[in-house]
Amino acid sequence: MARPTGRRWGWLRGYGRGDLSSDAAAGLTIAVMLVPQGMAYAMLAGLPPVIGLYASVIPLAVYAFLGSSRHLAVGPVAMVSLLTLAACARLAPPGSPEYVRLVLLLALMVGLIQLAAGLLRFGFLINFFSHAVIGGFTAAAALVIALSQVRHLMGVDGGGGHSVLELVKEIAGGAGDIHLPTLVLGIASIAGMVGLRKIYPRLPSAILFVIAGSLLAWAWGGLGIRTVGEVPRGLPPLSLPSFNPLAIQELFLDALAIVFVSFMESISVAKYMAAKSGYKVDPNRELIGLGAANIAGAFFSGYPVTGGFSRTAVNHQAGARTQMASLVTAGLILLTLLLLTPLFYHLPNAVLGAIIIVAVVGLIDARDALHLFRVKKSDGAILLITFVCTLGVGLDRGLLIGMVFSLGLFIWRSSHPHTAELGYLENEGVFRNVSRYPEVTRNPAVLILRPDASLFFANMKFLEDRLAGDLSGRPGVKLILLDLSGVNDIDAVSIDELEELMEAYAHQGIRFAFAGMKGPVRDLVDHAGWGKKYGETYQYLSIPHALAAFGYSNGGGTGAPGSGTPRP
């Protein structure tokens, strides 16, 4: 097996011959999958099917050299294809020369954003976006994608809708024009692929139905089943994206949405496969690899690509050991373009639509939604909001709404940190949350609070209100003791506001003390001059140390003052 290395292209310099047979077998398997999928997804994006093959050659090879995952199968995917259609169909009719140039521009913009993010080491930012948003968006997108292909199964025109309501309206409007042979072929293809997948999961059922459907359309041409038609033969041609400034402005938010969705899809499956195989992927290198792949696609007649769930899983199961498997796939698709494109002339659109439907229905995971609702209802609500909005208003706006709600929830949680009042649990000799342990003892002269989050400008008002609320019913409190063991950081604004609180409560005869302050936090308050201002009142190692220093026992009442002061 090839030795792992962090260097780019390092896998190629240290490539072992023993890996070649496994990589070749995996590359062949993925090529068999990618040929029909690439054509189907290009059609989903409003492009000629051959562009799906173009997008599976140069971009795939570029990623193989620059990416960090050994198993990620880069190429056209369903969600990015539909996002591409939603973005560019606003500006030009799908399939028109101007539409193709806009798609190339979109690929270039996606690639440049990804490349810049990788070079600036922004890969960590992906951790701030909620899994609930991705789950809701993925399920809704899968449903939208499946509905968008129903017209191909029906053999009718349409395809202008990007939301469920629009698509259902189109389907209902075309119900009277259903072409029965096409419908029978489409339904039979779906049933056959689902059945074969259950019985023989490793069998490339898509390519089998591509062959069978093409033979059927060729033998019974009089049935009127719509087919792909002529597919150009040859190398991916050089292309030039549109550089219309207005188009760049119009597509910018769509490009950001594709960057987000494609990277989430890619990095999640790449990390999963890396963990199973005992190596790590670098999010920044992934951004660089995907960015370079999309930039290359923009100049070689492709469209936006990313790593796909299903193909990557099959690549791993088929025994791929290095990125050489991706180069084998790219080479085989190139051979297909050079030699085999005439064979696709009779390929029915209904079969391609069936391939897409079967591929995306598996992305609808009701168990994931139920799990989120069961564990934390707010996360389940974010998933549901994203799902409903994506269905109702379209993919790009639905994703944006979900992200806004997710970030809003994150901000709300940050500004309302869990804060517990503590009391003494005498049987165990520890301090615990009074709401969870009502049997604890509270000293009427001491209020002990433990904020369980870093303190910064946005949550200090919450802490101030919490203090005022707790003190309003306890006129005998003479000491506020803040247990800062759960605080990892504090900003300058919070330090200033704590000083103002201490000064305000001092006029009411209430003192402040701090326990369990971590080293980095203590360093910050030292810089603020707390050593001179407040002496040792913020340096107590624990709650008992602080209570003893002020003459209070753990359980209530007063005790002899003790030396509760730690070394600074």
Residue 470 and residue 370 in one domain: no
- H/E segment holding residue 421: strand 419-425
422 and 275 in one domain? no
Tell me which of 410, 431, 448 is where a domain ends. 410
Please give the Cα distance from 312 to 322 (Å, whole number).
12
- Bridge partners (DSSP) of residue 432 are 423
Residue 389 exposed, middle or buried by CB count within 10 Å (0-12, 13-18, 19+): buried
Residues 237 and 355 in one domain: yes
* CATH classification at residue 534: 3.30.750.24
Q: Is 423 helix (H, G, I), strand (E, B) or coil?
A: strand
| Residues 222 and 347 reside in one and the same domain | yes
Q: Is residue 565 part of a domain?
A: no
Establish if 184 belongs to a structural domain.
yes
In a domain, 120, yes or no: yes
Q: Are residues 292 and 329 in the same domain?
A: yes
Tell me: do 97 and 243 sit in the same domain: yes
Q: Is position 4 within any domain?
A: no
Final residue in a domain of this structure, among 381, 410, 439: 410
Reading the block at residue 322, the tokens are 């290095």
Encoded tokens for 562: 């003790």
Boundary of a domain, candidates 410, 432, 458? 410
Say if residue 187 is in the same domain as residue 309: yes
Residue 559 is assigned to a structural domain of this protein: no
pTM, two decimal places = 0.73
User: What's the gap between Cα 501 and its chain centre?
Assistant: 41
Do 482 and 425 lie in a common domain?
yes
Judgement on whether residues 363 and 445 belong to the same structural domain of the protein: no
End-to-end CA distance of the chain: 53
Please give, one letter per residue, the 3-state secondary structure of 75-143. Answer: ECCHHHHHHHHHHHCCCCCCCCHHHHHHHHHHHHHHHHHHHHHHHCCCHHHHHHCCHHHHHHHHHHHHH
Strand spans (E) along 19-59: none
Q: Is 224 inside a domain boundary? A: yes
Same domain flag for 455 and 376: no
CA triple 546-552-555, angle to 5 deg: 100
Asked if residue 501 lies in contact with residue 467, where contact means CB atoms within 8 angstroms, the answer is: yes
Same domain, 126 and 176: yes
343, 244 Cβ separation under 8 angstroms: no
What's the helix, strand, coil split of the chain in %, to 5?
A: 60, 5, 30
| Per-residue pLDDT in tens (0 to 9) along the chain, 568 residues | 444 444 455 677 767 777 888 899 889 888 887 888 899 899 889 999 999 999 999 999 999 999 999 999 999 998 899 889 989 999 999 989 999 999 999 999 999 999 999 999 988 777 666 778 878 887 888 888 888 888 889 888 765 566 788 888 888 888 888 989 999 999 999 999 889 888 887 677 788 888 899 999 898 877 888 888 888 899 999 999 989 999 999 999 999 989 988 888 788 788 878 877 888 889 999 999 999 999 999 999 999 999 987 788 778 877 888 999 999 999 999 999 999 889 888 889 898 888 878 877 877 778 888 888 899 888 899 999 989 988 888 776 787 888 888 888 888 988 999 999 999 999 899 999 999 999 999 999 999 999 999 999 999 999 999 999 999 988 899 999 999 999 999 999 999 999 999 999 999 999 999 999 999 999 999 999 999 999 999 999 999 999 999 999 876 554 433 333 333 3
For residues 119 and 171, state if they share a domain.
Answer: yes
Question: Does some domain include residue 555?
Answer: no
Could you tell me the residue range of the domain that residue 472 belongs to? 417-549
Into how many domains does the chain fold? 2
Q: Is residue 563 part of a domain?
A: no
